Amino acid sequence: MSVSNEKQLSYKMNIEKAINAIQENDFITALGYIKSAVIEDQASPEIHNLLGIIAEFNRDLNLACRHYRASYALDPTFKPASKNLDRVTSFFYNPVNTCPIYGDIPEEEVIPYTIEYDEMNVGHLKKNKNISE
């Protein structure tokens, strides 16, 4: 196994262990795993997202928002950070019902259009019927 693959595997394992520790409310252990993950990949949006979740559970919403924004700035396509930021900054935010998105479950991408080809082999975009407007 190459060094790059080993680092990637180690990074993923540290992130998974950090998520498990956060879910068990063991934030000290989670921070240790997050620090190990930072050594492997310091520009990862998952790290700041998890730090934001820890801050949110500790009722420090200002710090949580900063970490969610940092995660979004590192990778605007990382949806868990933007969803967590939207949830925390919502007018209807309730800290009792905190249900953060960790980013460990892949999100299904909804594609609103498909390409259909006619008899001349020209492609046309057709809107999918199961997509709500």
* 22-67 pLDDT, tens digit each: 999 999 999 999 999 999 998 999 999 999 999 999 999 999 999 9
**Strand, coil or helix: what is 34?**
helix
The domains located in the chain, with CATH, are: 3-97 (1.25.40.10)
- Please give the model's pTM, rounded to 2 decimal places: 0.76
* 82-113 pLDDT, tens digit each: 999 999 999 888 888 778 988 876 666 667 77
For the chain, strand residue ranges (E) read: 113-117, 123-127
Q: How far apart are CA 112 and CA 107, in angstroms?
A: 15
Q: How far apart are CA 116 and CA 68, in angstroms?
A: 40
25 DSSP assignment:
T
